[in-house]
Amino acid sequence: MQSDRPLIISSVTDLRAHLADMRSQGSRIAFVPTMGNLHQGHLDLVAHAGERADHTVVSIFVNPMQFGPNEDFDAYPRTLEADSEALAGSACQVIFAPTVREMYPHGVNTEIDVPGLSTILCGHHRPGHFKGVATVVTKLLNIVQPDVAVFGNKDYQQLKVIQTVATDLLLPVEIVGVDTTREPSGLAMSSRNAYLTEDQRALAANLYHSLQTLADAVRRDQGVSTTLRKEKARLSALGFVLDYLEIRNADDLTQSAMEADTVVILVAAKLGQARLIDNVVVQTP
């Protein structure tokens, strides 16, 4: 094992003891929750976390509670060895890699839910997903008790759900969103891109092109509804099965988008075995 790899801790008790030690030395703690299978997007989150704290913890936990019955929980890649290698030399000093039993020793008797935000967009297509995310993130924040927790803006609705939980439960943590890391083609980096064939991966960049075309229409305030219709038809013709392509208020994801100062254009679509999501945030004129 290389010495610059992070320490791997799998028990809640051991992690708490380690972090108590760090805090007693005056360290500010940053936290990056992940499900592993790390790519450059995650490494960018870790670099960002490292700039905001003295000690960075990355959790790697494939959370069963956020997967639906017909989703890819079993197939989701578990790559702890490669992930710890990827984090070698990064700002991450500790990987928290608990088992399901460690995280849910008594099953799920308490849930965290943000009903309004959790049932629209991805929540409509993945019932229970955000309840699973909100519950596990609250548990992780309670274990790590970081000063700052860093999430990707790619999962925009997830970020809004987590910000709402932190605000409503008065959690003493700063929740930070970091810009999406993209392939040169524009495709947002995601662990689920691994499910794409080479041809599908090239095609997948069209999601970002549609978002950009729509962002232009919003900025010019011209032909937004027509562009939306055309882009939906174009993506469908290319073979995407669209869950949604929508323009929403960037603050609260309500549909009152065109009255908002800032909107977010969000897309979710299946391409082959992969369900892909992406978004861009745009100032209205």
Question: Which residues of this chain interact with ligand PAF, rule CB under 6 A?
Answer: 33-35, 63, 66, 133, 136-137, 155, 158
Which residues are CB-neighbours of 236 under 8 A, at least 6 positions away?
242
Q: What is the 3-state secondary structure of the chain?
A: CCCCCCEEECCHHHHHHHHHHHHHCCCCEEEEEECCCCCHHHHHHHHHHHHHCCEEEEEECCCHHHCCCCCCCCCCCCCHHHHHHHCCCCCEEEEECCCHHHHCECECCCCCCCHHHHCCCHHHHCCCHHHHHHHHHHHHHHHHCCCEEEEECCCHHHHHHHHHHHHHCCCCCEEEEECCCECCCCCECCHHHHHCCHHHHHHHCHHHHHHHHHHHHHHHCCCHHHHHHHHHHHHHHHCCEEEEEEEEECCCCCCCHHHCCEEEEEEEEEECCEEEEEEEEEECC
Q: How far is the CB of 137 from ligand PAF (least distance, A)?
A: 5
Given a contact cutoff of 8 angstroms between Cβ atoms, the answer to whether 113 and 137 are in contact is: no
Q: How far is the CB of 59 from ligand PAF (least distance, A)?
A: 7
Catalytic residue among 39, 42, 55, 106: 42
| CB of 131 or CB of 232, closer to ligand PAF | 131
Q: How far is the CB of 109 from ligand PAF (least distance, A)?
A: 19
Cβ-closest residue to ligand PAF? 33
| CB of 90 or CB of 158, closer to ligand PAF | 158
Q: How far is the CB of 218 from ligand PAF (least distance, A)?
A: 26
| CB of 66 or CB of 206, closer to ligand PAF | 66
- The closest alpha carbon to 143, from 29, 35, 8, belongs to 29
Q: How far is the CB of 2 from ligand PAF (least distance, A)?
A: 25
| CB of 158 or CB of 181, closer to ligand PAF | 158
Q: How far is the CB of 36 from ligand PAF (least distance, A)?
A: 8
Clarify whether 42 is annotated catalytic: yes
Catalytic positions: 42
